[in-house]
Amino acid sequence: MIRVTGLTKSYGPHLAVRDLTFHAQRGEIVGFLGPNGAGKTTTMRILAGFMPPSAGSAQVAGFDVVEQSLEVRRRVGYLPETVPLYPEMSVREYLTFMGSLRRVPGLEDRIDQVLEEVSLSERAESTIGNLSKGLRQRLGLAQALLHQPEVLILDEPTIGLDPAQIIEVRRIIQALGQLRTVLLSTHILSEAQQVCDRVLIINRGTIVAEDTPGNLQAQLAGAERFRVSASLEGEDLRRLLQSVPGVTAVRQLGGEGEVEVSGTPGQDLRPLVARRIVEAGHDLFALTPVGLSLEEVFLQLTREEAEAREAA
Amino acid sequence: MRNVWTIAVRELRHYFVSPVAYALAFMIFLILGGIFFINVYFGLQSGYVSPDGRIVMGPLVTILLFITPAITMRLIADEYRMGTFELLLTAPVRDWELVVGKWLGSMLFMLIILLVTWAYPLILHRMSTPGIDQGILLASSLGIVLMVAAMLAIGVMVSAFFRSPLAAFFTSLAVLLVLWIIGSLGGASGLASEIARQLSFVDHFYGSFYRGLLSLTDALYYVSLTVLALFLGSQAVEARRWG
């Protein structure tokens, strides 16, 4: 549904996107993850048919974004980062305007339907200038869904929303992702973890990792960190485990007799730790591997990339 | 063409909810009303009111020079500023459809204003015997419509180059002023004078339409200027997309 090959975009001497290659299938929610200025918005704008790339190619729903831009735009629903709206219009007028440009058949009924989908029916006649940020975001989403696009491109769809609104928007996106291809950019890692089937981590215009959120965490976490719970005081447990060969750090946790152990990468220390506790005459209650959070995965990947660049 | 109409209708509606548009329309009617009143009042004092339908046409043309940049300044510049430009051009809308739609919207608004200004010559027609020369009135009105079309197209074009409506206003005004005075810059005779006259905004109006003459050459001048400005405006929009 989305196929990107060697995509590059430069603004004068600044290279915003460098040789990006990825794809997304129908019914897949792909998260585009990266810090501000990583190239997420530029890539999304290119895929939405707003701007052409400097090099490389991109196809959306089988159409080239440069050569068949209008065809692409007919099939894409796009929600820019800052939802652009006409404040003097009412919600219904705005959707009527956008629907007319998109030639939506049975427009009036479709507007009612889409307002229902984003829980905005009661505000249909409200002036946009009087809507809260959350309601505007929903209206932006309604605009993107109005023509029932095959592909949805959502740039930071939950930015600036309160927690309840964030949950609501994520629920809508998950429901939409069952039938459509959704490309979603965010810099909130937990959002990608919750909503996306697959995550592309982008930094300085290039993809530094690509996998499911679970696999990404597993790849980098391994058994290097784990929690230990045993029948002795936290401080005693910490001292006992510090002497185990291969253990690099032991951190006392909140619970009594609970610590987090970090070890040398590539070495599974769990049998050694278990043995040490039992041999010291204590009971071992639990030994749980700790996965890296996506935040940590992201920081690790971007750090590795920076180090590689410096070395080069 | 449907997109052009959709955009034009939105623009027209926007004028009717914009206080700036009302203020501009009020200013036009106030100035023209004042001029009309003075002419008629002093005419009645002296016992003779000239039955010239162009009583407000001359001043109207000068007012339009300042009004049209104010009407067009925000048309595309505001879309850039508010980010709605991105939204419009990720819908299946061609660059030229956006530019022509914006121009058409402003043109429809100005046509409504021009239509209202007809009240003054029509009042004069009722006051005088045998009435005003309707041919001159029609030719002048046609000339003004063509001139306004070109002025608005220039305004839309300039608006496509700027993010700031104020910058668009002053630049449009400068372009129109140059076209306005260029006819008097070339000297009395010679090639330079001829070229300057051919480019002059006012010469193509006062030389024919204002005198009641329908000139194809002069009409073509305004139409060409309109088309050229809209074409350049579309190019400016496309250039924006390329970042």
What's the pLDDT score for residue A217? 65
Which residue, A131, A42, A51, A56, is CA-closest to A95? A131
Q: Where are the beta strands (DSSP E) in A106-205?
A: 151-155, 181-186, 198-203
pLDDT above 90 (res A212): no
Q: Which chain A residues are within 8 Å of B17, Cβ to Cβ?
A: 88
Which of B3, B17, B87 faces A84 most closely, judged by CB atoms?
B87
Provide the ipTM. 0.85
Residues with pLDDT less than 50, chain B:
none
Q: For all residues of chain B together, what is the average pLDDT?
A: 88
Contact A88 B93 (CB under 8 A): no
Cβ separation B89–A103 shorter than 8 A: no
Sheet of A2-11: strands edge to edge? Answer: A14-24, A2-11, A55-60, A63-64
Minimal CA separation from B56 to chain A, in Å: 34
Residues of A within 8 A of B92 (CB-CB) are 70, 73-74, 101-103
Residue A284 has pLDDT above 50, yes or no: yes
Q: Percent of chain A having pLDDT more than 70?
A: 90
Q: What is the pLDDT of residues A19-40, one digit of tens each?
A: 999 999 888 999 988 877 888 8
At A172-188, the pLDDT tens digits run 888 888 888 999 998 77
Indicate if the pLDDT at residue A224 is higher than 80: no
Virtual CA dihedral for B71, B75, B76, B80, nearest 10 degrees?
A: 110
The residue among B86, B96, B98 with the most chain A CBs within 10 A of its CB, best to mutate, is: B86
CATH top-level class for A2-212? alpha beta
For A44, the closest chain B residue by CA position comes to B90
**Cβ–Cβ of A143/B82 closer than 8 Å?**
no
In chain A, which residues have their Cβ closer than 8 Å to the Cβ of B84? 84-86
Q: Does B20 touch chain A (CB under 8 A)?
A: no
pLDDT in the model for residue A42:
92
- Coil, strand, or helix at residue A9? strand
Name the minimum distance, in Å, from the CA of A197 to any CA of chain B. 26
Within the 187-206 window of chain B, which residues sit less than 8 Å (CB to CB) from chain A? none
What are the pLDDT digits (tens) for B116-166?
Answer: 888 888 888 887 777 777 888 889 999 999 999 999 999 999 999 999 999
Side chain identity, residue A30: V
Indicate the CATH number for domain A223-289. 3.30.70.100
Chain B interface, mutation test: which of A65, A101, A143, A146, most B Cβ atoms within 10 Å?
A101
Question: Which pair of tokens denotes residue A238?
Answer: 């910490």
**Residue A288: band (very low, low, confident or very high) from pLDDT cuts 50, 70, 90:** confident
Burial classification of residue A196, based on how many CB atoms lie within 10 Å of its CB (0-12 exposed, 13-18 middle, 19 or more buried): buried
Q: Can you give the residue ranges of every domain in chain A?
A: 2-212, 223-289
